Amino acid sequence: MWNSFWRPRDRFSLDQLRYLTDQLTKVQVVSDVNKDFVIEALRSIAELMTYGDQNDPSYFEFFMEKQVMGEFVRILKLSKTISVPLQLLQTVSILVQNLRNEHAIYYLFSNEHVNYLITYSFDFKNEELLSYYISFLRAISGKLNKNTVSLLVKIRGDEVVSFPLYVEAIRFAFHEENMVRIAVRAVTLNVYHVGDDSVNRYISSAPHKDYFSKLISFFRKQSMDLNKLVSHTLINPGPDSTSTIIAAIDEIEDNLYYFSDIVSAGIPDVGSLITDSILMVLIFPLLLPSLRIAIDNDMQSGVVTSLYLLCCILRIIKIKDLANTIAAALFCPLEAFTKSSGGFHPEGVLMQNDCSCPNLSLRDVLLAYVTKGDDVQVLGSLSMLATLLQTKELDESMLDGLGILPQRKQHKKLLLQALVGESSGEEELFSPKSSLTRDGAGSDIDAYHKKIKDQYGISFLSSDVGISPHVNRFQVIDALVSLFCRSSISAETLWDGGWLLRQLLPYSESEFNSHHLEVLKVSYKNCASDLVEEVKGIWSDFLISVICDEWRKCKRAMESSSPPKEPSCVLFLPHPHKFSLEDNTSTGSSFDAGERMQELVKVFVLLHQLQLFTLGRASPEQPSIDPPGDLPANCRAQISGIDVSGPKAGTEISLVNAVPCRVAFKSGKEHHLYFQAISSGISGWLVLAEEQPSQMSHGIVRVVAPLAGCND
């Protein structure tokens, strides 16, 4: 019988389908003798059915008439080998994925054969078989809609009592293999987005709703693993540390986007289930306690990991109640979360200096990191404040209470109050100290504090919570001004602080007091003095070019809609801040000297632009750089038509005073070019230019090299 299978026949014919089906019905046992035939028959039937779906409906009519799906199930029951179930799962997956006829899909799902395959006891110890099975589930979920889903569930009355596809899929939600977990997410999301009310009730009822809390528990474990990884990298960095952290970050953020996709499906109660689980399993017992200020270096990883995770949660999961609860918790005393939970580092907590007050709020902790923390802690706190400011789900009253409501939003709110006739709106609108009232901000925050106490069991005295929008706003501005005076903080971190300040005060210096202005002025003068010293350095010829380049970058960063650095950057620190502005020594390599000069320039351009801001002036596109007064007016840069930023490849210059020359990069291939030395102030360049045939005495710059130690 098996030899007849190989006789010549039109491969894509109805006769071939009849023949294969007839041969399968004759199989009474699957053994090593005939398993190859069975596997090939299953594979060929999948091909034929795909062909027939696109070309001839009679193929599927035959498939239904002969109840071929039933034959597949019978063959599975007979099989004692792994290879046949593998091919059968692949065959059915191909059928489900490729059949475009809606009635064909209804037929496949309408009998219990698909559910039988879903619940069959496969040997999942075989990784290949598990992979095929998960692909099979994913293929089925891809065909779900309000009509087809009813064919895969069992209903008693109006309620779903059994849904094998969903139940079997989430069994593998926490499998050690990431690709399996990803496929399960796809299956569940396809189920959630069907929008069937009875299915939604089934999903959000016990015991199936436990899946969502288990998801958060699994995410908590991933968060703790990330913290261990960051902590290990701090102590013992290796060549693969960065790539390992990036892979962990990708998985963390993929999970958060999965949570967000679940919420976006709009299933009643699921959003609140996820919110409660995130708060009770992750944020209150782990992330917030880890923000404590400590002098133990090993605990720094807990701080930055917590800040990163809080930022990610706020940025990715768009739940208004979750965002406002997190923000309201920042007003609570740190002790309320640390007395019963340990965070990432439950042991050996030591509070710093004057920050050991038991009533210190989490908001105060963030500001303390800005004013006294190291580079990593400053960047993490700034990222948290910037994320809160950009979270659209947060009530404006919450932002105002935190002291980070942008001035333009304050004005808009007060203007609306004035227009509707609220008595205080017009007065506060034109007040230099305008902010939302304590009643407006406090009532919303008080409501969330009551919820934190009553629903989540976090106890603290209401008197411990101080909310004065104007005072809190002044504290934020004061902390940022103090930050700009810290010479031990990297320039890129200071740029994040500058961005935040510009968001809070986009128009003028109205909320700076005389002390702020004086401190900024002194810091700017000190930085300018240090920059003057760089004129004597070995990279002086690059100084003006670097200033122009960094000026443009800083201006773009300050005026951008988002902060310069992503929150995940805190996990790749500390990169030692080698070039402190307190260090004016010129020892070390020329490379180190160049990096120190660039770092100094970045700080200088930020402070310069902040000085212009305090004067109510906009930053120009290019810095105002005047050459020394004793230089002759007809410098070579002016003669050549070059601006202060220097010549660039592809630009046009005048060839007056240029020397014609021939350059050969290969034997026998000479180029006729012009050689010229160009200077502007203390900067200089060597240029090779090609003459333009259409315009005498002018050429196009082809090669530029810096001229060290140049002077007109």
CA 653/CA 689 separation, integer angstroms: 8
CA 577/CA 375 separation, integer angstroms: 8
The percentage of the chain sitting over the pLDDT mark of 90, rounded to a whole number, equals 56
CA 320/CA 393 separation, integer angstroms: 5
Q: What is the mean pLDDT of residues 148-170?
A: 95
Which residue, 271, 280, 278, 171, is CA-closest to 216?
278
Work out the pLDDT band at 663, boundaries 50, 70, 90.
confident
Q: What is the mean pLDDT of residues 494-502?
A: 95
pLDDT digits (tens, 9 = 90+) for 633-659: 345 666 666 766 778 888 888 888 888
pLDDT at 630 over 70: no
Q: What is the mean pLDDT of residues 73-80?
A: 92
Residue 660 β-bridge partners: 674
Cα four-point dihedral sign 46, 52, 54, 55: positive
pLDDT digits (tens, 9 = 90+) for 529-577: 999 888 888 888 788 899 999 999 999 999 999 999 999 999 986 544 4
* Type and span of the H or E element at 679: strand 669-680
The percentage of the chain sitting over the pLDDT mark of 70, rounded to a whole number, equals 83
Work out the pLDDT band at 708, boundaries 50, 70, 90.
low
Which residue, 641, 642, 636, 653, is CA-closest to 688?
653
pLDDT digits (tens, 9 = 90+) for 191-229: 999 999 999 999 999 999 999 999 999 999 999 999 999
**Strand, coil or helix: what is 160?**
strand
pLDDT recorded at residue 646:
77
pLDDT recorded at residue 411:
57
Report the range out of 236-250, 274-288, 456-470 with the highest average pLDDT. 274-288
Q: What is the mean pLDDT of residues 37-48?
A: 94
**What mean pLDDT value characterizes the chain?**
85
* Type and span of the H or E element at 685: strand 683-691
pLDDT digits (tens, 9 = 90+) for 343-359: 675 544 434 444 445 57
Q: Which residues contact 583 (CB under 8 A, 6 or more apart)?
A: 596
| Backbone phi and psi for residue 686, each to the nearest 5 degrees, phi listed first | -105, 130
pLDDT recorded at residue 587:
54
Q: Give me the residue label for tokens 């930050």.
A: 483
Work out the pLDDT band at 8, boundaries 50, 70, 90.
low
Task: Say if residue 236 is exposed, middle or buried (CB neighbours under 10 Å; 0-12, 13-18, 19+).
Answer: exposed
Work out the pLDDT band at 492, boundaries 50, 70, 90.
very high
| Backbone phi and psi for residue 687, each to the nearest 5 degrees, phi listed first | -130, 135
Residue 671 β-bridge partners: 663
Packing angle, helices 241-264 and 270-277, rounded to 10: 150
Is the N-terminal amide bond of 574 cis, ω within 30° of 0?
Answer: yes
pLDDT digits (tens, 9 = 90+) for 395-441: 999 999 999 988 766 656 666 666 666 555 445 544 544 444 445 56
Cα four-point dihedral sign 588, 592, 598, 604: negative
Q: Which of 78-82, 154-158, 301-305, 442-446 has the lowest mean pLDDT?
A: 442-446
Identify which has the larger pLDDT, 301 or 255: 255
pLDDT recorded at residue 349:
42
pLDDT recorded at residue 441:
60
Residue pair 480/497 in contact (Cβ under 8 Å)? The answer is yes
CA 478/CA 460 separation, integer angstroms: 28
What are the counts of helices (DSSP H) followed by strands (DSSP E) for the chain? 29, 7
Exposure pattern of 267-301 as b/e (b: 16+ CB <10 Å)? beebbebbbbbbbbbbbbbbbbbbbbbbeeeebbb
* H-type alpha helices, 58-125: 58-65, 68-78, 83-98, 102-110, 113-119
Neighbour count for residue 595 (Cβ, 10 Å): 15
pLDDT digits (tens, 9 = 90+) for 117-147: 999 999 999 999 999 999 999 999 999 999 9
Packing angle, helices 102-110 and 83-98, rounded to 10: 140
pLDDT recorded at residue 429:
47
CA 677/CA 672 separation, integer angstroms: 17
| Backbone phi and psi for residue 66, each to the nearest 5 degrees, phi listed first | -90, 0
pLDDT recorded at residue 1:
46
Triad 202, 206, 207: Cα angle to 5°: 100
Query: Domain segments of the chain: what residues?
Result: 636-706
Task: Say if residue 41 is exposed, middle or buried (CB neighbours under 10 Å; 0-12, 13-18, 19+).
Answer: buried
Which residue, 615, 640, 637, 613, is CA-closest to 625?
637
Q: What is the mean pLDDT of residues 277-287?
A: 95
Q: What is the mean pLDDT of residues 670-698?
A: 83
pLDDT digits (tens, 9 = 90+) for 564-614: 999 999 998 654 444 555 555 445 678 888 889 999 999 999 999 999 888
pLDDT at 502 over 50: yes
| Backbone phi and psi for residue 404, each to the nearest 5 degrees, phi listed first | -125, 20
CA 498/CA 520 separation, integer angstroms: 12
Neighbour count for residue 552 (Cβ, 10 Å): 16
Which residue, 399, 410, 411, is CA-closest to 445?
399
pLDDT digits (tens, 9 = 90+) for 288-337: 999 986 554 445 678 999 999 999 999 999 999 999 999 999 999 888 88
CA 373/CA 493 separation, integer angstroms: 12
| Distances in whole angstroms, Cα of residue 662 to Cα of each of 185, 671, 673, 687, 707 | 66, 5, 6, 14, 21
CA 483/CA 524 separation, integer angstroms: 13
Residue pair 686/672 in contact (Cβ under 8 Å)? The answer is no
**Strand, coil or helix: what is 703?**
strand
Neighbour count for residue 206 (Cβ, 10 Å): 6
Q: What is the mean pLDDT of residues 10-29?
A: 90
pLDDT at 629 over 60: no
CA 428/CA 419 separation, integer angstroms: 13
| Distances in whole angstroms, Cα of residue 498 to Cα of each of 182, 443, 613, 648 | 40, 31, 11, 30
pLDDT recorded at residue 416:
63
Counting Cα atoms < 13 Å in the Cβ hemisphere of 335 gives 11
Q: What DSSP state is assigned to residue 361?
A: B
pTM value?
0.82
Residue pair 607/520 in contact (Cβ under 8 Å)? The answer is yes
Task: Say if residue 689 is exposed, middle or buried (CB neighbours under 10 Å; 0-12, 13-18, 19+).
Answer: buried
Q: Which residues contact 587 (CB under 8 A, 6 or more apart)?
A: none
Which residue, 142, 143, 123, is CA-closest to 133?
123
pLDDT at 169 over 70: yes
Beta strand ranges found along 579-633 (DSSP E) = none
**Strand, coil or helix: what is 701?**
strand
pLDDT recorded at residue 496:
97
Q: Which amino acid is at 335?
A: E
Cα four-point dihedral sign 612, 615, 618, 624: negative
CA 181/CA 173 separation, integer angstroms: 5
Q: What is the mean pLDDT of residues 362-376?
A: 94
pLDDT at 489 over 80: yes
pLDDT recorded at residue 479:
96
